[in-house]
Amino acid sequence: MALSALSALGLMATLAGCGATETNGPGVTLKLVAADYGDSKDNSSEKYWDALVEAYEKDNPGVTVDVTVLSWNDVDREVKKMVDAGEAPDMAQIGTYADYADADKLYEVDDLLSIPVQANFLSQLADAGKVRRIPYGMPFAASTRVLFYNKELFAEAGIKSAPRDWKELAADAEALNKAGVKIPYALPLGPEEAQAEAMQWLVSGGTGYVDNVGTYQLDSEESVRTFTWLQDELVAKGLTGSTAPAKLNRADAFAAFARGEVGMLNGHPSLTRIAADQGVDYGTAAMPGVDGRARATMGVTDWMMAFKQNGNREEIGHFLDYVYSDKNVLAFAREYDLLPVTSSASATMAADQDDADLAPFLDELPTAEFYPAGKTSWATVSAAVKQRIGRAVDPNAKPRAVLEQLQQTASTADQRSGS
């Protein structure tokens, strides 16, 4: 990976996280609401935050940090309830920030973090945290997508290597189908995370949710071509399994891959552990594009933000400098099979053989494209995509019509939000 000035940034970030800023004095309690990345009680994010807070409070006896960890099913909604009730936490680590920034409820990142810590964020992640060019969202965890394939099933179907373009992908899916594979290509466009699978295919087809100036382009010719191809070449030919893509959720697709029932699918880093735990001999490759490797992959980041309501700006900034030290960033990424959000931690992970399973995802990060999270309309658009994009590939549907309806929803949401 081409990461510039890593040594200097890493040193500065370490210094910034070791008490470079003084807090205002005793008696301050900071409230943080965070999402749970664990899949069981044994690896709940509570354990990560408990250890981090214990170490921080030991060196900063005047500050107490009260952390509430909630499931991803609840955390965004519960934080919204708190904010609407006038009881905003000092910090929230959740999935979206733009609505709060647009309502002038958040501190700007420039007013919180020390310069070395802020400069250490990977640039494309930092850029995704801006509303009208002002940074409000701090990237907390990142992931990219690659193509996973079952090596054993590929061998049984006579396939020697991963597909490099859409034509090869369709041909491989046909071969897997003839070999009796239950789901040659898993296409999870169900409501759990359809916006992610859809974006991966949009990017591989040469487009995305928005154009270069941030205007939604869900019904562009490239988008229509992509979903028409999926409908004609995969779904209509029975190559996506017996469950309709509109009803197949990501978790179910991952579980099927771990059972050895799926030939290929898009996956994020946690699938490496899920598959390995079940003894699946898998390979990974860059996502195929229309005529060769896709120009980019899809990236996802979750966000940390700080609310102005309680006025603890200096204490919040000091704590977050500590949160973003290399030690803590790496500990979180390794525990939950995610990618670091800072340059120095990314360089450390890339050089460590113990993190070799994450190398393909790190390689994709510099060119990854992210959701338009800085648009206040994105929450509305994302919800609509989750519920409706799967219909675009139904055998009897007209992809253009479905995408035009989604474009109308996006345009209306954009006009109302002014983003």
C-alpha distance from residue 414 to each of 48, 176, 220, 237, 278 (Å): 38, 43, 17, 37, 44
Would the pLDDT of 166 be above 90? yes
* Average pLDDT for the chain: 91
What are 203-222's pLDDT values in tens digits? 999 999 999 889 999 999 99
CA count, 13 A, side-chain hemisphere, 168: 15
CATH number (3.40.190.10, 3.40.50.920, 3.40.50.1820, 2.60.40.10) of 147-296+375-417 reads 3.40.190.10
Beta strand 138-144 with 146-150 is unpaired
Q: Residue 292 — pLDDT band, cuts 50, 70, 90?
A: confident
Q: Looking at residue 26, what is its pLDDT? A: 56
- CA gap 289, 205 in Å, rounded: 6
| pLDDT surpasses 60 at 336 | yes
Kindly write down the DSSP assignment for every residue of 26-79, as one continuous string: SSEEEEEEEE---SSGGG-HHHHHHHHHHHHHHH-TTEEEEEEEE-TTTHHHHH
Q: Give domain limits for the chain.
A: 25-143+300-370, 147-296+375-417
Give the CATH number of domain 25-143+300-370; options: 2.70.170.10, 3.40.50.920, 3.40.190.10, 3.40.50.970: 3.40.190.10
Q: What's the pLDDT score for residue 302?
A: 94
What's the average model confidence in pLDDT over 173-199?
A: 96
User: Does this chain's domain 25-143+300-370 share its CATH topology with 147-296+375-417?
Assistant: yes
- Does 18 have pLDDT greater than 80? no
Mean pLDDT of 255-265: 97
| CA–CA dist 266, 160 (Å, integer) | 19
Examine the pLDDT at 251 and tell me if it is beyond 50. Answer: yes
